[in-house]
Amino acid sequence: MGSFNDGTFDSVDVAYAKFRNPAVQYFIGEQFLPVVEQEITNETTNEDTSYNVDFIYEPNEKELLESLVPSILQTTLFRYMLDTDASQHGARMTAMAAATDNAEELAKSLKLTYNKARQESITNEILEIVGGAAALDG
């Protein structure tokens, strides 16, 4: 924020992952500085609900904004970081669940293949024994 105020940067954009649930994250890029004025509309009627009301501020409006705006911006940036962290953990959790499911399926398949090979080996040994016994009798 200091570099933006000094004029080093013209604008600051932020890219982050918005957490929806462990399986869904949205990657968002938005302008962080300068703060863009957002239009507020009534969601039920889609009408502009801006009001021109004159308030009395204590301390004055400028001092109040100088103390609140940096705090709000820091909180917003922290929220971006928390959303990204939650998205990362959710994606990791989903990937590990899929890897576990795949490993269990692979283990079942390998066990089935091993058991078939073992059964085939036992059957061949029995056939050799029976064939040897028949050769001795005959």
Q: What percentage of the chain reaches a pLDDT higher than 90?
A: 56
The SS3 call for residue 110 is helix
Cα(86)–Cα(79) distance, integer angstroms = 10
Helix or strand run (H / E) with residue 16: strand 12-21
Q: Tell me which residue range forms the domain holding 33.
A: 2-137
Cα(104)–Cα(91) distance, integer angstroms = 20
Q: What is the tens place of the pLDDT at every residue in 5-16?
A: 888 888 999 999
Q: What is the tens place of the pLDDT at every residue in 29-76?
A: 999 988 877 666 666 666 666 667 777 878 888 888 888 988 999 999
Q: Do 25 and 95 touch, CB atoms closer than 8 A?
A: no
Mean pLDDT for the stretch of residues 81-104: 96
Q: Do 30 and 23 touch, CB atoms closer than 8 A?
A: no
Q: What is the pTM of this model?
A: 0.66
What's the domain count of the chain?
1
